[in-house]
Structure 1
Amino acid sequence: MTTNKKRALFILRISFLFTTDNSHYVKLYRLYKFKINTLNLTNNLTDFPKNVTIFQLGGLYISTYVKNDFTVSSNKNYLDVELIYNYLHDEAYWSKGIPLRLVEKSIQNSICFGVFAGDPEKGKSKQVGFGRIITDSSTFAYLADVFILNEFRGLDLGKSLVQTMINCPSIREVRRILLATKDAHGLYKQYDFQAVKDKNLFMDINQKDIYNKLS
């Protein structure tokens, strides 16, 4: 076994960040898309956790296939920025009117996850969902801009996306993970999110018309 393959296996064994089912398989890539190894997790690998997800760790990208030929990937190279912008600008209640440059800047400065119909690594895919994490990777993380396109809802893709995001290795040690939602409380409760009990605990500056001023 080559050194690269041993390193990839070692990372998987110490990560314990696995959250779909073991009928899926994981592909590991170097930052420059050099293929290291493909692990088929359908076998009885008792030394691996039961479930598997995707994340980005250092120079490695890890992609996990989810059911019905959909893929979740943390590789920013696969993101359809125009699709993300169109949704956030035109449809998302929390960001309508956001300028393209701010969407691009937010992607650049976040850990991002795309949901795809097909396999983006093979070039035959369509992005159908997105989410990003804002974090210092030490004490705090915020889940933002999480969405699945309307025509692809009802396939549990939102669950796969959120599950993948909260198991990202960059936020494994943070003390608090926050998010804001108007209508998806049921989804997030499945992953241990709870309403803030003490409403006096948090304060915010909410510039609701900021995008109108910038346009």
Structure 2
Amino acid sequence: MTDGYELRTDSDAMDLDRVHEWLSTDAYWALGRTRDNVGTAAAHSLNYGVFHEGEQVAYARVVTDHANFAWLCDVYVDRDHRGRGLGRMVVEAVNRDLDALGVRRTLLATGTAHGVYEPLGFAPLPDPTMWMIRTPTP
């Protein structure tokens, strides 16, 4: 616990209604995401929540095979609690947990927070021309 904030990783502790509200209305990468989508994603991910006085104030999740690869995603800190190092606290916990598993590659995508993640060990892809993406057409 740091300054009254507590990190939890128990999926049952996550307030997914609140997480859905944050992601679907305020997170540029997830606008319009459905509550069912948030719940399904959380059920198949490692979940990290920061709580203050019993209320969830931050969230992140990790998709991983627990051996080689992880994707850190949906990192969000409630607007009223930003600027207190909560994002850093979550990412440091993720890094520790993935390091303990021996995961050698963790990816994330961000359009606005490169400066937040660089001090935590993230860097641009060494060769982005190697990566491909598939997005099914509706």
Superposed CA deviations along residues 74-104 of structure 1, whole A, max 9, x for unmatched, are: 0112111110001111111111111111110
- State the match for 2:14 in structure 1: 79
Please give the alpha-carbon distance, in whole angstroms, between the structure 1 residues aligned to 2:76 and 2:95: 15
Higher mean Cα deviation, 125-134 or 198-207?
198-207
By how many angstroms is 1:115 displaced? 0.6
Superposed, 1:1-215 pairs within 5 Å as: 65-66=1-2, 68-118=3-53, 125-169=54-98, 172-206=101-135
- Is the contact between residue 144 and residue 179 of structure 1 (CA under 8 Å) also seen in structure 2? yes
- Is the contact between residue 88 and residue 145 of structure 1 (CA under 8 Å) also seen in structure 2? yes
Q: Which has the higher contact order (CA 8 A, sep 6+)?
A: 2
TM-score after normalising by structure 1: 0.61
Please give the alpha-carbon distance, in whole angstroms, between the structure 2 residues aligned to 1:132 and 1:182: 18
TM-score after normalising by structure 2: 0.93
Amino acid in the other structure paired with 2:35: L
**What SS does structure 2 have at the residue aligned with 1:200?**
helix
By how many angstroms is 1:191 displaced? 1.3
Please give the alpha-carbon distance, in whole angstroms, between the structure 2 residues aligned to 1:69 and 1:79: 18
Please give the alpha-carbon distance, in whole angstroms, between the structure 1 residues aligned to 2:13 and 2:78: 17
Gaps of 5+ in 2: none
- Is the contact between residue 137 and residue 171 of structure 1 (CA under 8 Å) also seen in structure 2? no
Gaps of 5+ in 1: 1-64, 119-124
- Compare the two structures and name the one with the higher helix fraction: 2
Please give the alpha-carbon distance, in whole angstroms, between the structure 2 residues aligned to 1:174 and 1:166: 9
By how many angstroms is 1:151 displaced? 1.1
Please give the alpha-carbon distance, in whole angstroms, between the structure 1 residues aligned to 2:92 and 2:108: 14
Superposed CA deviations along residues 39-96 of structure 1, whole A, max 9, x for unmatched, are: xxxxxxxxxxxxxxxxxxxxxxxxxx12x20011101121111100011111111111
Name the count of aligned residue pairs: 138
**What SS does structure 1 have at the residue aligned with 2:126?**
coil
Instruction: Give the superposed CA RMSD.
Output: 1.6
Please give the alpha-carbon distance, in whole angstroms, between the structure 1 residues aligned to 2:51 and 2:113: 21
